[in-house]
Each structure stands twice: as C-alpha cells, then as structure tokens.
Chains A and B, each alone.
Chain A
Amino acid sequence: DGGITQSPKYLFRKEGQNVTLSCEQNLNHDAMYWYRQDPGQGLRLIYYSQIVNDFQKGDIAEGYSVSREKKESFPLTVTSAQKNPTAFYLCASSIPGYAYTFGSGTRLTVV
C-alpha cells in the first residue's frame, strides 16, 4: 500500500534540544511539504520541496531545517531556536495537479 509514514507519533523534547521528525513516502511524488497545526490557526507551511536536493522556506521557517537527499524522504529538524515548538506537525506529498496526500502527523511536546 502506498502512503506517507510519519514517525514517531508522539515526541517529547527538552528545552534547548534539537529533534528530528521523520517523513517517508512511497508514492513516487516529487513534491513534499511540512505543515504545523496549532489550535485555532489552521495549517501553516514550514518548508516545501519540489525536487530532490532543493527546498524552499514556507511562511514560518524560522527555527526549523530540512533536507531532501532522497525523493522518498523529507525529515524536519526542530532546532532550539524555535521558541514555541509544541504543536502537531503534518507532512504531505503531491504530484502536480493533484491534491496532497498527508501523513498521520507527529505531536511534539516540549517538556
């Protein structure tokens, strides 16, 4: 079955630590995205990548970093520079002209 896998489902981070969220897809989609969901704020775009080895900042990229070394993988690192990292993180992928396919999300909590 094709799809997007995000891991882990729940993640706890101590203040000052970097943490990496995994996103893997086997849909052969060129484009991948990271969104953040906060209560009452909808989904906000963090980073996106339309092709391997290339990515662009979204609306709220500060404090985050990504890499796209393989078509299947688009990991997101939440760095200590992100002041309010507690949120639900969603990864998605797409091909041109088609709707996104989303993963099931990772809930990150800073403790």
Chain B
Amino acid sequence: DQQVKQNSPSLSVQEGRISILNCDYTNSMFDYFLWYKKYPAEGPTFLISISSIKDKNEDGRFTVFLNKSAKHLSLHIVPSQPGDSAVYFCAASEHFGNEKLTFGTGTRLTIIP
C-alpha cells in the first residue's frame, strides 16, 4: 500500500522555465511533508518542508504548496537550472518531530539546456 505517490516517474523541462513536481498521499494522519533531491549513487539531501498549518513555503527558487483537502503537494522550481537535474522524493510524517518518514517513489527531473 503506497501511502505517498509520485505518479510521474520522469519530467523534462527547458532551462529557465518552471518545473512542477507533484505528490499525492492517502494517509490523513500525515501533517508534515518534505522534499528531497537525490543524485545517482549519493544519499538524498533535504530541500524544503511544509507543515499542515501552512499551504505554502518558499525558499529561494523552491516553493512547496500543500492542499490538505486534496491530499496533494507540489514542488515548484523557478527558474530551472541544469544542476536541478536529479531524482526528487517527497516524504511525509504523521507529525512534526515524528522522525519516521514515508517516501514516495521519486520523479526524475531532467533540465534541458
């Protein structure tokens, strides 16, 4: 039972345009969400997070949007850069400070120069 789903295994975007990565979840107990970025043969690195009390969190080029009623979150990257090419995982936990995370299946983002 996949509680966190990333339905697009891959996405290609022109350099300079907006990249939008999507994530859906089924567990209504989740209320803290994170995005990680992963390069091949390396561990994931933390990008940005959002708590359920917010619907948007921004950090530089990265913005995460949360729609709790739809159980959907998205990561926007503007403008997209070649170094953004990586696999992106969304993750969720049942409350802030609960360290056990459930990860999605990942979306491979390719930025086309």
Contacts and interface: CB of A to CB of B under 8 A. Distances in A.
Interface residues of A, number: 29
Contacts of A100: 36, 44, 46, 99, 101
A105 B41 contact: yes
A56 to B, nearest CB: 8
B41 A102 contact: no
Contact of B103 (A31, A42, A101): A42
A50 B97 CA distance: 12
B111 to A, nearest CB: 22
B9 interface: yes
Interface in A2-38: 4, 6, 9, 31, 33, 35
Contacts, number: 59
Contacts of B102: 45
B46 A107 contact: no
Interface string A77-101: 0000000000010101010110111
B105 A41 contact: yes
A9 B89 CA distance: 22
Interface of B: 4, 6, 9, 34, 36, 41-46, 49, 89, 91, 96-97, 99-106
Interface of A: 4, 6, 9, 31, 33, 35, 40-45, 48, 50, 58, 88, 90, 92, 94, 96-97, 99-105, 107
